Amino acid sequence: MRRRRATAALAAAAIAALGAAGCGAEDFPNDPRPPAPIELTARVDDRQVEVSPTEFDGAPVGAGLANVTISNQTDSDQQLNFAGPVDRTTDPVVANGVLEFKIDLEEGEYVVGTDDPSIDDMTFAVGPARPSAQNDLLLP
C-alpha cells in the first residue's frame, strides 16, 4: 500500500513537471505566418518590359515575397533590373528563354528594365504588406 502511494506521488510529480515545462508561451511567442508569396510574370520583348499583374482588386500589389516568372522574347540574353525600395538584378535570361526569380518587395515604386536602351522600362507601385497567411491553406 505504501509503495502504491509513493508510485502515485512520483507519477503526479512527473506529470506536474512536464506540465510546467510545456508552459513556455512567454519565451516562444506564436507569431503569425508571413503572407503567402504572390505570382507575377514579366515579359521582355524588343520594345518594352511588362510586369503583371500590378493590381489585385483595384489595389496595388502588396509588399512581401513575390515569385516572378520572366519570359525573354528577344534574340539576345537579357537581365532585368528591379530598382526601388529593394534593388535587385536577375541572372541573365537566355534568348527566347524563361527564368524563375524571387524578390521580397517592399512598399514603394519600382522601375523594371534592362540594360538595353532600346527597350522601354516599366514602373509599378507596391502597396502595404499583404495580410498574414495564418489561416490560408498553403499548397506546394
113 in a structural domain: yes
Residue 118 lies in a domain: yes
- What is the number of domains present in the chain? 1
Alpha-carbon separation of residue 73 from 28, 51, 81, 85, 114 (angstroms): 49, 14, 16, 27, 13
* 24 inside domain: no
- Mean pLDDT, the chain, rounded, equals 85
Strand 122-129 relative to strand 59-72, pairing: parallel
Task: Count the Cβ atoms, other than its own, within 10 Å of residue 92.
Answer: 14
Q: pLDDT band at 133, cuts 50/70/90? A: confident
pTM across the whole model: 0.72
Q: What is the pLDDT of residue 20?
A: 60
- Which CATH number covers residue 84? 2.60.40.420
* Structural domain contains residue 19: no
For residue 23, being part of any structural domain is answered with no
Range of the domain at 42: 38-129
Is residue 95 classed as helix, strand or coil in its secondary structure?
A: coil
Q: What would the pLDDT profile of 58-89 be if each residue is shown by its tens digit?
A: 889 999 999 999 999 999 999 999 999 999 99
Q: How many CA atoms lie within 13 A of 51 on its CB side?
A: 26
59-72 and 98-105 strand pairing:
antiparallel
Residue 99 lies in a domain: yes
Q: 108: alpha, beta or left, given left = phi > 0 and alpha = psi -120 to 50? A: left
**Euclidean distance between CA atoms 5 and 13, whole angstroms:** 12
* Tens of pLDDT, residues 78-131: 999 999 999 999 999 999 999 999 999 999 999 999 999 999 999 999 999 888
Q: How confident is the model at residue 22 (pLDDT cuts 50, 70, 90)?
A: low
Judge whether 10 lies within some domain: no
Residue 21 forms part of a structural domain: no
List the end-to-end C-alpha distance of the chain, in Å, as a whole number: 58
